[in-house]
Structure 1
Amino acid sequence: MTTIGLVRHGVTDWNQEGRMQGKNDIPLNAEGRRQAELLGRRMEDEEWDYIYSSNLGRARETADIIARHMGIQVTGYDPLLAERSFGTLEGTTEQERIDRWGPDWKNAEHGGETREAVVERGMQLLEEMERRHPGKRVLLVSHGALIGALVETLFPAFGYLGLKNTCVNVLEKTPEGWSCSLHNCVRHLENGTSCG
């Protein structure tokens, strides 16, 4: 059984301001680094064979902190793990989007990556990890839109749920298909609260 851990990066200033980041290379802020350190401490008690990261700085730094706590090196920085491109929406807050495109801004054309394209590259990456590391435990540090679209596609009953920064999602691939044993878990930020 191949196990894939999907981790969202730590928080950034743009996250806290409600700005769409997309492909913008926004760094972690102090709180994001603190979150990554807490997650790293949690991961010291878990066994992971490999860790990969998005090539964007906020995910790279999160992965580097986790890897240091785990005593391993980041295996690679993969653009397939990068955040979805949101085109002209990037850098804007919701109020700025409403001011510019109106309350129906979600249905306007913004030149970004489609959800279908995000799911396609995410599934491609999962399949590649399964082929490359069969039976291993692989941690992938990525972004909210990519992880959310993948989880929602694989497990429609979950619906859409905003993923918390540094949340952990654990997927297992068996001959019967994918299962999810952990979803949107941030017990490392919540004084040891358990996650199901």
Structure 2
Amino acid sequence: MTEKATRLGWIRHGITEWNSLGKIQGVTDIPLSPEGELQAEKLARRLEREQGGWQGIACSDLSRAARTAEIIAQRLGIPVHRDSRLRERSFGAAEGTTLPERLARWGEDWRRRVPDQESDEQVTARGLSFVKEWTERHAGEAWLIVTHGSFLARMLHALCRGLDDSHLQNVSLTIMENQGEEWTPLLHNCTAHLEEDMERSVTE
């Protein structure tokens, strides 16, 4: 008998005012904007229509991710579990700054020069710790994971090499399936739920 695959549906949280202003957030606890709440509701409606068999949601404990998860969970009728390992990367002194401010202060190589920020290796280590523990505990199940852009980019490429490296959009959905040690992407950085609403408003 073939062992049932484990699925993780990775979601970046809805948009915030700092996202709109181009400010880097990190672990600064910025809430969803009204637009972000609407985005989360659109994704929730898509997931409800698709009936993907999701058994629950694990999310970052930062409010923008936790609120996104709550909106989805309410519509799907599934539980939410918060886990601090799913937090965004800490960007240290760069948090709250715009790109022009970062370039002026640290130059083009600001991602390497900002002091007291969390390293790629640290982000990957805590993310993989979560994935290992969660998939062992929930083997053969399907769970949504609501987290953050920089953290999510590190995790997806740690789990599956060769993925498209494009910017991960707010409320994007990436689904990966695991059997054994290998993760296979079934969907990547998809925001069709936002586009569908736009198309509907044009045709109606």
- Smaller-chain TM-score range? over 0.9
Moved over 6 A (4+): none
Q: Which residue of 1 aligns with 2:145?
A: 140
Q: Which moved more, 1:15-24 or 1:148-157?
A: 148-157
Q: Structure 2: how far apart are the matches of 1:103 and 1:157?
A: 25
- What's the offset of the Cα at 1:156? 2.7
Deviation of 1:150 after TM superposition, in Å, equals 1.1
Alignment of 1:35-46 (within 5 A): 35-45=39-49, 46=51
Structure 1 distance, partners of 2:164, 2:45, is 30
Which residue of structure 2 aligns with residue 99 of structure 1? 104
The 1-side partners of 2:119 and 2:181 are apart by 29
Where does residue 154 of structure 2 map in the other structure? 149
How far is the alpha carbon of 1:192 from its aligned partner? 7.0
SS of the counterpart of 1:33?
Answer: helix
Unaligned runs of at least 5 residues, structure 1: none
Return the alpha-carbon distance in structure 1 between the equivalents of residues 161 and 135 of structure 2: 22
Look up the match of 2:15: 11
1:73 aligns with 2:79: yes
Contact between 1:84 and 1:145, CA under 8 Å: does it hold in 2?
yes
- 2:27–2:90 Cα contact (<8 Å) kept: yes
Equivalent positions of 1:45-84 (< 5 A) are 45=49, 46=51, 47-74=53-80, 76-84=81-89
Aligned position for 1:87:
92
C-alpha offsets along residues 112-146 of structure 1, whole Å, 9 cap, x if unaligned?
11011111111111111111111000111000111
What code does the residue aligned with 2:23 have? Answer: R
Give the CA RMSD over aligned residues.
1.5
Distance of 1:177 and 1:123 partners within structure 2: 13
CA contact (8 A) 1:85 1:112 kept: yes
Q: TM-score, normalised by structure 2?
A: 0.90
> Is residue 152–residue 159 contact of structure 1 (8 Å, CA) maintained in 2?
no
The structure-2 alpha-carbon separation of the partners of 1:52 and 1:176, relative to structure 1 and needing over 3 Å to count, comes to: closer
Q: 1:37 touches 1:65 (CA, 8 Å); kept in 2?
A: yes
Query: What is the aligned residue count?
Result: 192
**Paired residue type of 1:40:** A
Distance in 1, Cα, partners of 2:193 & 2:146: 16
Matched-pair contact (CA < 8 Å) for 1:84–1:118: yes
Q: Distance in 2 between matches of 1:53 and 1:98?
A: 31
Deviations 1:144-177 (A, max 9, x none): 1111111122233125321000001111110251
The letter of the residue matching 1:35 is Q
- Could you list the runs of 5+ residues in structure 2 that have no partner in the other structure? 199-204
Q: 8 Å contact 1:148–1:161 — kept in the other structure?
A: no
Indicate the SS of the match to 1:5. strand
State the Cα deviation string for residues 13-72 of structure 1 (Å, max 9, x = none). Answer: 111111110000000001100100001111113220111110000001000000011012
Q: Secondary structure at the match of 1:146?
A: helix
Given that 1:42 and 1:188 are in contact with CA atoms closer than 8 Å, whether structure 2 keeps it comes out as yes
